[in-house]
Amino acid sequence: MASTIYSFNISGVDGYVVEVETDLIHGLPSVSIVGLGDAAVKEAKERLVSAITAAGYDFPLFKLVINLAPSDMKKRGTHFDLAMAIGILTRTDQINVTQDCLKLFGFIGELSLNSEIRPSSGVLPMVIKAKSEGIRHLIVPKENVQEALLVEGINIYSANDLQEVVDLLEGNRSLQSEKKSRQSQQTTSNINLDFSDVKGHEQLLKYITVAAAGNHNLLLSGPPGCGKSMIAKRIPSILPKMTESEALEVTKIYSVANLLKNKGNLIVDRPFRSPHHSISQHALIGGSQHATPGEVSLSHNGVLFLDEIAEFNRKTLDSLRQPLEDREVTITRVSNTNTYPSNFMLVAAMNPCPCGYHGTDKCRCTDYEIHRYRQKLSGPILDRIDIQKHVTSVNFFEENYSKISSSQIREKVENAREFQQKRYKSYLNIISNADLPPALIKRYCELDCENEQLIKEAYNRFRYSARTLHRFLKVARTFADLDSSDNIRRIDLVNSLMSRDIDKEQRDFLVV
């Protein structure tokens, strides 16, 4: 009995390399696929018999055992088909390929009954993992080529059917890797959304600029029709463009979630996700049977907008605590455990009371109704929102409002972000002030004696939490960065202490 032949494949969602071991054992003709595969993996034996026969080869009439190693890790999907077929053909000596050659190759693709290779989802993380494991050549379906080519440093080959793969391995086909096409970017932003459409709110736009510049979380509270949602939907238009590494991270998440509209296109615009308030906790954080990414991960490097946040289920909102703090989320299910990045900017909008007109003659809500309505947002969630501003209604027919475009605001934001990146260039995962851990706040948000006394007075009087103080300092640091100031000035700290209107209203506090 000949030695076992190994071929390689990569599991997309779970991100591990799988060795496909094929062996022929004396006994009645049968096919057994072991290694904790799901129903799609088990059904592969029917596709293998038909595909190998359709390609003109003989399916072995022996007891065939295919092991997907490591055997203690659950596997799912149909992209193992191609690797298993190559393993069978090699093991039965129907193709002339050495084991050393196969160790350099990876195979991704589902086989149809007529031996054609069908596309798979989650190819991008598969290719990234293959490269890290030392695989030099990867064969993928034609439809997944451009997505695979987003990863540099690994040779990508395409094939339409099983016979083309065999020809490539045996040298009967010219061994030329695919080249990246010019159309390699996926644009999702709406160019029609611009801050020049916003009338008034000059003071509020200052804080919007700070939130974008420092990647700070933002809560807008105001009556219906005052422009909360309108402003929030335009925030992506003032955020700086993603770097190549950020774009690759976002594209990888969308590939795993099978949400890439055009496979092979790199997502270059920052995500903007706006789920309905009826969303479940699993859809927001991530979950399902296979621990797939949720909205907090799909908005990674972008904006998660929760409109009418007070209408969300309180338990669902409280599940945001850990992602907001750790910038990543770990989803554990029976089948597997996955960790996804979730470094997003939370933007939320709400009414000040159930009817929405608190503070005006229109409001008929009782104090109890207002208190109960606002309690839908727990203290720990409010504590994690850096900037909380009231939005007032404007006179629609007023013509003297000064207009500022998104491009003008974005220029200020990009300058501030560049200032921060230079400051934190020696740190791996810190790209904005919001990412500063407590250990570095004292170093980069240092206050002089006068400012330190001011924040101490606020702390002693209103008993802020340590987290709130740290967020005051981060916001003040961003105000200083917008003016390219190395030090936090008094005006920066005062503006920061005025950034939490809801706290001021609850505590009857006004900074003068």
Chain region(s) in the chain for CATH 3.30.230.10: 3-170
Structure tokens at 45: 């034996």
Domain limits, CATH 3.40.50.300, in the chain: 217-385
Query: For a pLDDT cut of 70, what percent of the chain falls above it?
Result: 91
Give yes or no for residue 458 having a pLDDT over 50.
yes
pTM: 0.85
CA distance 413 to 299: 19
Compute the average pLDDT of residues 249-277: 88
Beta bridge mates, 155:
137
pLDDT over threshold 50, residue 495: yes
Alpha-carbon gap, residue 35 to 85, rounded angstroms: 16
Buried-state track 443-480, b at ≥16 Cβ within 10 A, e below 16: ebbebeeebeebbeebeeeeebeeebebbbbbbbbbbb
Beta bridge partners of 118: 110
Q: Cα(108)–Cα(141) distance, rounded to whole angstroms? A: 7
Q: Determine the pLDDT at residue 354.
A: 93
Per-residue model confidence (pLDDT) at position 505: 66
Q: Please list the residues that pair with 196 across neighbouring strands.
A: none
Q: Decide: 104 and 137 in contact? Cβ < 8 Å.
A: yes
- Tell which CATH architecture fits domain 3-170: 2-Layer Sandwich (3.30)
Cβ atoms of residues 277 and 265 within 8 Å: no
Average pLDDT over residues 228-256: 93
Q: What is the mean pLDDT of the chain?
A: 87
Task: Assess if CATH 3.40.50.300 describes domain 217-385.
Answer: yes
pLDDT at 264: 64
What integer pLDDT is reported at residue 213 of this predicted model?
Answer: 97
Cβ 113 vs Cβ 52: under 8 Å: no
Structure confidence at residue 188 (pLDDT): 52
pLDDT at 185: 55
CA-to-CA dists, residue 385 to 337, 346, 468, 500, angstroms: 29, 8, 9, 9
| Per-residue pLDDT reduced to its tens digit, 65-118 | 999 888 888 888 899 999 999 999 998 999 988 888 888 899 999 999 999 999
Higher pLDDT, 433 or 61: 433
CB atoms within 10 A of CB 393: 14
In this prediction, residue 223 carries a pLDDT of 93
Res. 199 pLDDT band, cuts 50 70 90: confident
Question: Is the omega angle on the peptide bond into residue 70 within 30 degrees of 0, that is, cis?
Answer: yes
More confident residue, 43 or 62: 43
pLDDT of 120 > 70? The answer is: yes
